[in-house]
Amino acid sequence: LLQKYGYTHLSAGDLLRDERKRPGSQYGELIENHIKEGEIVPVEITISLLKRAMDQTMAANSQKNKFLIDGFPRNEDNLQGWNKTMDGKADVSFVLFFDCDNEICIGRCLERGKISGRSDDNRESLEKRIHTYLQSTKPIIDLYERMGKVRKVDASKSVDEVSIKPKNHGDDSG
């Protein structure tokens, strides 16, 4: 999807984790606490990191103006913040939704946690994240679905099977 349609992948989570580790970061401890508790980081922080990454990407190559933003927006506050900050600057063409059973997600993240070193790859944090997802993120996905912008991928299959499917989901938006 990234190569075929020229998208640049930006992971909100990766940007937050990088900022958390950055020496002298004014947000590092706050981000760490939110991630450990499975809570959503304040929208102002996440949007500022996304916007900075988008600006840096476009400054380096003006042709790179299409982004696949991973893990954002996660709640109504995120969505409103995005709309307020990015209105007229970035349009949402579609939402790529990887639909997967909770226990499969937990199992995959626990396996990842054995090598990732991520502080949130433990069962307690993952269960909190699922609760937060159901309460806060799912309604945002439902909103985009009502707008006809959700492309669902069955992510309960093997990682290899899932990784090839999204390639078909950008055809009408690329």
Q: Is 150 exposed, middle or buried (0-12, 13-18, 19+ CB in 10 A)?
A: middle
Lowest mean pLDDT across 60-69, 136-145, 163-172: 163-172
Spell out a b/e string for 124-136, using b for 16 or more CB atoms within 10 Å of the CB, else e: ebbebbbebbeeb
Is this model's pTM higher than 0.85 or not? Answer: no
What pLDDT score was predicted for residue 129? 86
- Whether a cis peptide bond, with omega within 30° of 0, leads into 42 is no
The confidence score (pLDDT) of residue 173 equals 43
Write out pLDDT tens, residues 41-58. Answer: 999 999 999 999 999 999
pLDDT tens track for 29-38: 999 999 888 7
User: Could you give all domains of the chain from N- to C-terminal order, each with its CATH number?
Assistant: 2-160 (3.40.50.300)
d(C-alpha 61, C-alpha 70), whole Å: 21
